[in-house]
Every structure is written in C-alpha cells, then in structure tokens.
C-alpha cells in the first residue's frame, strides 16, 4: 500500500489517497480548533493520541457489528480507512446534559435524564452546524428517511457499546458526535470519522473532571495529559474484555 496525494486538508486532519481505489490514509494533526474554528492551538502529541484512541473505539465497533471506516493503524498519527462519500450530517447522542444543550433546554450542566437524546446537525461551517430535523435532511437531499433511521439506530448502538466500555475505564460518556459516509466499495452507510476526546464529552467518574476537548474550549489546561489518561485507561479496559 503506497501513500498518494493529499486529497483533503482539514483543520485537525489530512486525508491522502492510496494505490487502492477504495482506501485512504487519515492523518491526525497536532492542531486543535473550537468554536467553529475561531479558537486554535497546537498540542504536541495530540494527533497521536486521537489516532490511537479513535483506533481502539472504531476497531471495537467493527468487531461488535457496527461498520466503520477504520481498517488498521499505520503509524503514530496515521490510520488506513475505507474511502467514503461524506454525508454532511452530525448525529449527536447525549446521555447527560452538557454544553450548549444546557442553554437550549434551560437546565444546569450535568442535569441527568433517564432517556437517550439524539440530535441532528447539518455539518456546514458557514451556517455554524445548525440543528435540523429529519425532514430538513431529506429536503436537502442529504439522506432518505430510511437511511436516517439506519443512522439513528447505528448511533444508539454505538452509544450502547461505548458507554459500558468507557464505564469500565472509569469514564462517563456524557455525549458524542458521530458522522457517517457512503463506502465507495459497497455503498453501505458506515461510521466515517474519528470518535475521540475531540468528539465526545468524557467525565472522570471518580472526580467529575473533564477529560475531553472542553479542557481546551474552557482553558482548563492539561489537554494532552487528560487525553493520555483516556488512552491509558481505555487500553486497559479493552485488554480486560
Ligand atoms: P453539541 O451538544 O451538539 O454541541 P456543543 O459542543 O455546542 O455542546 O455537541 C455534543 C458533542 O459533540 C460534544 O462532545 C462536542 C461534539 N461536537 C463535535 O465534535 N463537533 C461539532 O462540530 C459539534 C457541533 C459537536
């Protein structure tokens, strides 16, 4: 497998072609951004941590009946992935209220609810990723109702698999964002982006301390230390399985 041309350059990631038509290389950068790319910083080692954490989680999903784009890890900051056509939607799962949802619903951060909440956002930087509903997504031609049902079900299944895995690591999975794409080889809709402390809220079950990107968003310091802690604990949890 040979690394080819750069085909996508994002803030936090690069995607390279390979000599296989249905495979690409994802490279996680040491850059982090927040608030629709307004806040930005570089953290040495963060790309490798996101790469490794995402690899653990996506591999776990692949092995438990949820198809993802992850194939295998290639190096510290790179993983081989299936090529997909992006579906510009974010399916957001909440197990506890945090972040902007607290403002939207007028409840304090940390508010507990018995049900799982699933939100849908249109992945569009110019519009600042607005919340939309299924009808909007179908109207824009982003997916069919049947495909949206599949994405919602997959998101709930991801949550049902990852919540206990994080719990085993002493970490509460508060919320997470999931993206999907159409696989170029089979056309199946599969999970197609990282799942990491950049895309989840993760709270230490013992101390309540934040272990995710909120450390950067809220200037809480020790970003790389927290991501390292998540990685070490997840690695142990997965080995115990
Ligand atoms: P959400 O409640 O939609 O937004 P906010 O960050 O304003 O509270 O986010 C829930 C989770 O999804 C949170 O862990 C951050 C993550 N997320 C992303 O990774 N990328 C995004 O573009 C958005 C909007 C959220």
What is the tens place of the pLDDT at every residue in 42-95?
999 999 999 999 999 999 999 999 999 999 999 999 999 999 999 999 999 999
- Arithmetic mean of pLDDT, 199-203: 98
How many A from CA of 98 to the centre of ligand 1?
10
- Where are the chain's structural domains? 3-82, 84-232
**Distance of alpha carbon 227 from alpha carbon 220, whole angstroms:** 13
Residue closest via CA to ligand 1's atom 12 equals 177
Q: Ligand 1, residues 119, 199, 211, 215: which to mutate, most atoms within 8 A of Cβ?
A: 199
Q: Encode pLDDT of 125-157 as tens digits.
A: 999 999 999 999 999 999 999 999 999 999 999
- Arithmetic mean of pLDDT, 221-236: 98
Rounded to two decimals, what is the model's pTM? 0.96
- Taking residue 132's Cβ as centre, other Cβ atoms within 10 Å add up to 19
pLDDT score, position 217: 97
Average pLDDT of the chain to the nearest whole number = 97
Query: What are the tokens at 127?
Result: 């519009």
Closest CA relative to residue 22, chosen from 147, 171, 187, 240: 187
84-232, superfamily in CATH? ATP-grasp fold, B domain (3.30.470.20)
Q: What percent of the chain lies above the pLDDT cut of 90?
A: 98
pLDDT score, position 241: 65
How many A from CA of 186 to the centre of ligand 1?
29
pLDDT score, position 173: 98
Residue closest via CA to ligand 1's atom 25 equals 177
Residue closest via CA to ligand 1's atom 14 equals 200
- Taking CB atoms and a 6 Å cutoff, what residues make up the pocket around ligand 1? 90, 92, 99-101, 119, 121, 129, 175-177, 199-201
How many A from CA of 177 to the centre of ligand 1?
6
Beta pairing partners, 94: 117, 175
- Arithmetic mean of pLDDT, 20-30: 98
**3-82 CATH:** 3.30.200.20
Q: Decide if pLDDT at 240 tops 90.
A: no
- Arithmetic mean of pLDDT, 202-230: 98
Strands 3-9 and 13-18: antiparallel
């Amino acid at each position: 497998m040979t690394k080819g041309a750069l085909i996508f350059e994002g803030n936090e990631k690069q995607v390279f072609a390979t000599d296989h038509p249905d495979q690409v290389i994802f490279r996680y950068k040491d850059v982090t951004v927040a608030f629709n790319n307004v806040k930005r910083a570089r953290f040495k080692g963060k790309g490798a941590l996101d790469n490794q954490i995402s690899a653990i989680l996506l591999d776990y999903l692949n092995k438990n009946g949820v198809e993802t784009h992850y194939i295998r890890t290639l190096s510290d900051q790179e993983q081989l992935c299936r090529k997909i056509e992006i579906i510009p939607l974010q399916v957001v799962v909440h197990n506890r209220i945090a972040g902007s949802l607290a403002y939207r619903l007028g409840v304090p951060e940390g508010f507990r609810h018995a049900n799982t909440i699933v939100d849908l956002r249109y992945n569009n930087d110019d519009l600042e990723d607005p919340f939309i509903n299924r009808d909007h997504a179908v109207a824009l031609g982003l997916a069919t109702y049947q495909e949206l049902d599949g994405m919602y079900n997959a998101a709930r299944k991801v949550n049902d698999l990852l919540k206990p895995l994080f719990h085993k690591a002493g970490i509460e999975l508060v919320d997470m964002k999931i993206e999907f794409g159409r696989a170029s080889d089979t056309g199946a809709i599969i999970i197609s982006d990282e799942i990491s402390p950049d895309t989840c809220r993760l709270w230490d079950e013992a101390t309540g301390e934040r272990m995710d990107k909120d450390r950067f968003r809220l200037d809480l310091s020790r970003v790389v230390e927290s991501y390292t802690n998540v990685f070490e604990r997840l690695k142990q949890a997965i080995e115990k399985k």
